[in-house]
Structure 1
Amino acid sequence: MSEHDSSTNLWHQLLESRISRRSALKGSVAAAGASLLPLSLETASAAPTDAPSAQARGNAANTRPPFSPIRPSTADDLVLPRGYRYDVVRIYGDEIAAGQPFGYNADFTAYLPIDWLEGGQSSTDGLLWVNHEYPNPLLQHGNLAGPKTPEQIAIERTSVGGSVFRVQRQRNGRWAFVGDSHNRRVTGFTTCRLTGPVAGAAGVRGAVEVSGSVGNCSGGITPWGTILSCEENVDDYGAPLVQGGFGYGWDQSYVKEHQGWVTEVDIYNPSSTPLKRTAMGRFRHENVAIRLSANNRVVAYMGDDRNDSCVYKFVSDGSYDPKNREANMKLLETGKLYAADFQNGTWLLLDYASQNALKNAKAANGTPLFRDQSDVLLNASGAASVLRATPVDRPEDLEVHPLTGHVYVALTNNSAHGNFHGQIVRMIEENNNPEATSFQWDFFATGGPQSGFSSPDNLIFDPYGNLWMVTDISSSRTGRGIYAFQGNNAMFFFATEGANAGKAVQFASGPNQCELTGPSWTPDGRTMFLSVQHPGEESSGMDKLTSHWPNLGGDPMPRPGVVAISGFPGWRRR
């Protein structure tokens, strides 16, 4: 995947300009008691209003957090407010189905009611999807330096991908795993199918069927009840094993171009083949946030999770039909892919046929960068760079506000440019139309000691428009130096309207050296599923473990897993 030219540092020029203008405008309206400026005030008349909808106004009391805030913690446990508890549902190595263990480094989760296909909304019985992002050779088989045996590679390759399994809330209120015919694993060995313009193309060596899904970070849920699992850091698996590096040293049959896609999985059909949606582009996918347009086209917002990379949008050619799930399953096969230009507030179409700049782009040796649309999609980040899309600071999660339609973007950090704590920005499409080709943007929250949080990552909204966010401080830096103020990685609550909009309130703190990832709700809002990823990641040996979470049954080994958090009041006025 191509790297962006970040030498001009355009994004930080835009940030400085926006901060200066925002500060001046805040000063001019301070007497009016404004708590949150509207986006791009100089053109606000053309933008949708920031005023809450009737539904939001009716739920104004629900912009207050439903918990008493906790303080930052360095405890080796998942710390929650009084009145909340967690159940460990699955951890690495637990059986999902016969001979299929729960994978490593749990990430994105998605709960779908067991009766969803029949129109049900069960909040006590459902299917839970969990991504598995990457392995940990030391903690899985002990061989950190290599070379690895075929058996060790198989352990790692089986531990990535995703898990789907049935969960139920028991009479005592506890959540438990349930053996079921829906339960299965998707791994680095699972046969997947490429769909769309890149299927069978030269850039994927003519392949249509490919082996495995890896680097599964965050994801999304479609309106027709399938899971979108995002393949992020996929270049490492076939790379040579280097001490202190990121290569995993898998066999050379690994083809990196077969990875790096958004993979759609029908969790209600255990015999279905995972589908890699190449029309949505290949880059380091973090997640997918879906919104339907007025024409029922599927609009997907995505981020390329690395320093100096871009924000993308996919718009399907076809329209969603709530009565035709089979037809909906083809909607992500064709469409238009855009990259965001934050300087001009425009979406740039990554289309070989209509963009002469892509046709004329040359590599350093003079050969064409792109020969057709399949090349553009294979190297979406390179195409975005040619069209001068704006590289930003590690765009991780994007989510759509359920009441306003605004898109919130977590920019984790970029220490290369002095952005150590990140920020959350929000985008407003022209006329609030997700198919629009222009937008406005502004800050929502900025990380740092003054804000109480650092390095925003996964986001999730509740129905009242409150934002819940987890952080991604590197394991080697949590609780240290400039990150000491936050302690371990954590979860925060933000109101998005009212006097406290944009102010972080801490809900949870994770075990040592973990990330809390992939929060998801049950339909009634009484349970949140959450992954605890890579606890004890900085362990240097089996006799030097830095975490023992979840510390079940006397097992000292740190094991990533997924938990169910109870204690929420649910979706009612508080």
Structure 2
Amino acid sequence: MTPPKLLPLLGAPSHPGGRSAMTCRYRCGDACAQPVPNESGNEYFADVVARSVSRRAVVRSGAATAAVGAISWGVAAPVAATPGRGGGRGSDRSRGPGRIKPPSDFEAIAPAPAATDELIVPTGFEWAPLISWGDPVTKGAPAFDFDNQTPEAQRGQAGYNADFAALLIDGRGRGGQGSQGRRGVLVFNNEYTNDELMFRGVTGSADLTDTQLEIVQAAHGMTIVDVRRQRPGTPWEYNRRGRRNRRLHAHTEFALDGPAAGNAALRTSADRSGRTVLGTLNNCAGGVTPWGTVLSGEENFNQYFDATDAPDPDKRLARYGITSAGRGWERVDRRFKVAEEPNEVNRFGWVVEVDPDDPSSTPVKHTAMGRFKHEGANVRLADDGRAVAYMGDDERFDYIYKFVSKRRHRPGNRRHNMKLLSEGDLYVAKFNGDGAADGDYDGTGEWLPLVVDGRSHVPGWPVADVLIWTRQAADLVGPTKMDRPEDVEPNPVNGRVYAALTNNTSRKPGQQDEANPRTPNKHGHVLELTERRNDAAAVSFTWKIVLLAGDPGDPSTFFNGYDKSEVSPISCPDNVAFDKQGNLWISTDGQPGTLGNCDALYMMPLEGPEKGRLQQFLSVPVGAECCGPWITADERTVLIAVQHPGEVSGASPENPVSRFPYLGDGQPRPGVVQVHRR
């Protein structure tokens, strides 16, 4: 067996949630070093959890905890030093002659130590890069040249640090269902940049030249490319001359729509209408609508704005974490200086909708869906045909939201359906524990109204104010403070909704509740919501925790009741996805600092005899986060976005920690990776 390739870690992770100091700086502007933005007095329901977490965990785990020292990983896959194959023993489970095994049919790999500079896949699978930072996308864009970057080139090249990725196969059922076709379109977010790894001689944003700042702005946003393959089952490649190829960046024109569009708080000196915005920033997770458009969430937008000398009498800036000196963007673009352009910051923090089929279309920011640090948005249809979107606000002690459209979905009428998210009702979630000593964390919940039927349900707050300052409006109605709610997605097979709560090391004893039971919550957990009658438009639900992440030897962990001697360790769940069998796929963000392992992708069945048997599918390289994931509709490809490879404190272009995707140029390049059965 080939040993894993280990490179020296230059700086140990210093973030309490498991990230390196470099990641903290560029991902979220050192958010955890700042005061918690939510200072509301909403209760923590500590009275229903007087019993200890550890006692309830013992009730669950029984003898399985004693057996944890004998965890069986199967055979670890040998490491592929270049894009290639997994190499251990594969599963021999047959699905019949001529049947394609689904990606869930694999043998788990072992965790990789955090210094491993390899992408490891299961036995019987192989991987290859699909597109990487700097690859030319639009007509006339040059090939990537690390030492000769320009703003003009980057506006036509793939952006940096892909997070969400979706591949929609052309053909019948494009609204996320796909076909067995040979062509499609790939859409992925470009969340943020790492200035120290993009340019030589840079130790922080203050070192950037004006030209480099413009390159950084161009590397944010979204990338859309045509893709093709020779036949079903063969690898995808992106088409450099594709009709739909497009880059959205910090200076692309976006339209604001919905009830708050045109409001005085959205008007600036450059846009006195309050309806046109330049750019989209810090695009994190996303989703694909039933009508085939892509949604993208603007998350840590606050860090790009210089709040120096900006008055904040109502604490509206502080509630959104807009308290820093920014990333230097105001040097080349004065709209990022809050004291000079106070409303520009209100034009970010929205859900963006993009039509990937029409490269001439104007992307839209939907004010009806509220403004906060959107991890993403995912849509399913209610029983009456209304579109329902689920959203998480990725912040310590912030909330989970739901939007219900006013109008109903019309199959085949794309023009009508693309207006569904422009008007509707907005809710925020309250979780109530059942208080029973039954060994489970579960209970009931309700969607508290913020805006319904065009009327505000927040006393004294006009509708536009609720939508622009949604965090403060939600504080007033009493929702449950959550442990960094990130991806929230409906399962298309069982109809339930799953929310990844990444972690919250700021939660102290006495602040726990049954939906967020650990103090501090270093490893995170996953919630399952079942809405009344399984109807997405319902305003009440039941819930339970299906995963309390961590080392299975920790008695506070829980894997939906499965024997913990047979599961993989996992920490910091971030993005989720589902395959056609309804299995839950989970990617992670932060394991190097919590478990000492590289971040990874996992699969956990939600039904049947293997319910809760979480198994590790792949491992990403040193310093990288595993993003996505996306299982194509034909179940022949698993996509992940390998974000910030080599992002370890002290790394630089002269001393890289990772060389992913191993293209021979010596520098790490984040991008989208495809995994196929060999």
TM-score (norm 2): 0.71
Given candidates 549, 556, 574, the residue that maps to 2:660 is: 549
CA distance in 2, matches of 1:83, 1:231: 37
Shift in alpha-carbon separation, 1:515–1:563, aligned structure 2, 3 A? same
- Counterpart in 2 of 1:347? 447
The question of whether the paired residues in 2 share the 8 Å contact of 1:153 and 1:250 is answered with: yes
The question of whether the paired residues in 2 share the 8 Å contact of 1:229 and 1:287 is answered with: yes
- Counterpart in 1 of 2:260? 198
- Counterpart in 1 of 2:39? 5
- Counterpart in 1 of 2:221? 161
CA distance in 1, matches of 2:230, 2:48: 52
1:385 aligns with 2:491: no
Please state whether the residue corresponding to 2:612 is helix, strand or coil: coil
CA distance in 2, matches of 1:199, 1:520: 33
- Counterpart in 2 of 1:151? 211
Letter in 1 for 2:644: H
CA distance in 2, matches of 1:334, 1:356: 16
Shift in alpha-carbon separation, 1:23–1:240, aligned structure 2, 3 A? closer
Measured after TM superposition, the shift of residue 126 of structure 1 is 0.6
The question of whether the paired residues in 2 share the 8 Å contact of 1:170 and 1:176 is answered with: no
Shift in alpha-carbon separation, 1:239–1:502, aligned structure 2, 3 A? farther
- Counterpart in 1 of 2:328? 249
Please state whether the residue corresponding to 2:533 is helix, strand or coil: helix
CA distance in 2, matches of 1:469, 1:182: 30
The question of whether the paired residues in 1 share the 8 Å contact of 2:223 and 2:248 is answered with: yes
Given candidates 516, 532, 536, the residue that maps to 1:434 is: 536
- Counterpart in 1 of 2:595? 483
Letter in 1 for 2:595: Y
The question of whether the paired residues in 2 share the 8 Å contact of 1:491 and 1:516 is answered with: yes
Letter in 1 for 2:410: D
Q: Where do 1:510-549 residues align within 5 Å? A: 510-540=620-650, 541-549=652-660
Letter in 2 for 1:455: C
Shift in alpha-carbon separation, 1:229–1:479, aligned structure 2, 3 A? closer
1:291 aligns with 2:380: yes
CA distance in 2, matches of 1:137, 1:26: 46
Shift in alpha-carbon separation, 1:446–1:331, aligned structure 2, 3 A? same
Please state whether the residue corresponding to 1:358 is helix, strand or coil: coil
Deviations 1:149-208 (A, max 9, x none): 331121111111111101122369232111211101111110000000111101112410
Given candidates 234, 257, 277, the residue that maps to 1:173 is: 234
The question of whether the paired residues in 2 share the 8 Å contact of 1:283 and 1:380 is answered with: yes
CA distance in 2, matches of 1:346, 1:516: 32
The question of whether the paired residues in 2 share the 8 Å contact of 1:103 and 1:158 is answered with: yes
The question of whether the paired residues in 2 share the 8 Å contact of 1:123 and 1:524 is answered with: no
Shift in alpha-carbon separation, 1:193–1:161, aligned structure 2, 3 A? same
The question of whether the paired residues in 1 share the 8 Å contact of 2:102 and 2:636 is answered with: no
CA distance in 2, matches of 1:528, 1:21: 39
Deviations 1:477-529 (A, max 9, x none): x435x422xx1001111010133322310101110011111111222101111
- Counterpart in 2 of 1:218? 285
Please state whether the residue corresponding to 1:555 is helix, strand or coil: coil
The question of whether the paired residues in 2 share the 8 Å contact of 1:140 and 1:155 is answered with: no
Measured after TM superposition, the shift of residue 132 of structure 1 is 0.4
Given candidates 582, 598, 612, the residue that maps to 1:465 is: 582
1:267 aligns with 2:368: no
- Counterpart in 1 of 2:341? none
Letter in 1 for 2:129: V
Letter in 2 for 1:253: R
CA distance in 1, matches of 2:226, 2:383: 34
Measured after TM superposition, the shift of residue 5 of structure 1 is 2.7
Please state whether the residue corresponding to 2:192 is helix, strand or coil: coil
- Counterpart in 1 of 2:673? 563
- Counterpart in 1 of 2:75? none
- Counterpart in 1 of 2:70? none
- Counterpart in 2 of 1:235? 302
Percent identity reads 39
CA distance in 2, matches of 1:545, 1:113: 36
Measured after TM superposition, the shift of residue 551 of structure 1 is 1.8
Kindly indicate which of the two structures has a greater share of residues assigned to strand: 1
Letter in 1 for 2:238: F
Deviations 1:371-395 (A, max 9, x none): x211111111111111111110000
Shift in alpha-carbon separation, 1:7–1:535, aligned structure 2, 3 A? farther
Q: Where do 1:126-141 residues align within 5 Å? A: 126-141=184-199
The question of whether the paired residues in 2 share the 8 Å contact of 1:237 and 1:250 is answered with: yes
Letter in 2 for 1:128: L
CA distance in 2, matches of 1:177, 1:272: 21
1:499 aligns with 2:609: yes
RMSD: 2.7
- Counterpart in 2 of 1:67? 106
Structure 1, unpaired ranges of 5+? 31-61, 360-369, 569-574
CA distance in 2, matches of 1:106, 1:265: 16
Shift in alpha-carbon separation, 1:557–1:330, aligned structure 2, 3 A? same
Measured after TM superposition, the shift of residue 249 of structure 1 is 1.5
Shift in alpha-carbon separation, 1:15–1:549, aligned structure 2, 3 A? farther
Please state whether the residue corresponding to 2:459 is helix, strand or coil: helix
CA distance in 2, matches of 1:14, 1:355: 31
- Counterpart in 2 of 1:54? none
Which consecutive segments of 4 or more residues in structure 1 shift more than 3 A? 6-9, 11-28, 62-65, 115-120, 352-358
Deviations 1:90-117 (A, max 9, x none): 1111101123000000110111123358
The question of whether the paired residues in 1 share the 8 Å contact of 2:166 and 2:630 is answered with: yes
Letter in 2 for 1:497: E
CA distance in 2, matches of 1:162, 1:64: 27
Letter in 2 for 1:114: D
The question of whether the paired residues in 1 share the 8 Å contact of 2:449 and 2:457 is answered with: no
CA distance in 2, matches of 1:425, 1:112: 28
- Counterpart in 2 of 1:410? 500
Shift in alpha-carbon separation, 1:509–1:289, aligned structure 2, 3 A? same
Number of residue pairs aligned between Structure 1 and Structure 2: 514
Please state whether the residue corresponding to 1:155 is helix, strand or coil: helix
- Counterpart in 1 of 2:121? 80
The question of whether the paired residues in 1 share the 8 Å contact of 2:485 and 2:501 is answered with: yes
Deviations 1:249-290 (A, max 9, x none): 212313221111110000100100000011000011112121
CA distance in 1, matches of 2:414, 2:49: 43
Deviations 1:394-449 (A, max 9, x none): 00111112222111111000011210001101111112121111111111011111
Please state whether the residue corresponding to 1:428 is helix, strand or coil: strand
- Counterpart in 2 of 1:363? none
Measured after TM superposition, the shift of residue 557 of structure 1 is 0.8
Q: Where do 1:364-379 residues align within 5 Å? A: 370=461, 372-379=462-469
Letter in 2 for 1:403: V
TM-score (norm 1): 0.84
CA distance in 1, matches of 2:350, 2:522: 28
Shift in alpha-carbon separation, 1:15–1:318, aligned structure 2, 3 A? farther
CA distance in 2, matches of 1:274, 1:109: 17
CA distance in 2, matches of 1:156, 1:169: 32
Letter in 2 for 1:158: A
CA distance in 2, matches of 1:122, 1:446: 37
1:102 aligns with 2:153: no
CA distance in 1, matches of 2:181, 2:168: 9
1:112 aligns with 2:168: yes
The question of whether the paired residues in 2 share the 8 Å contact of 1:3 and 1:381 is answered with: no
CA distance in 2, matches of 1:318, 1:563: 37
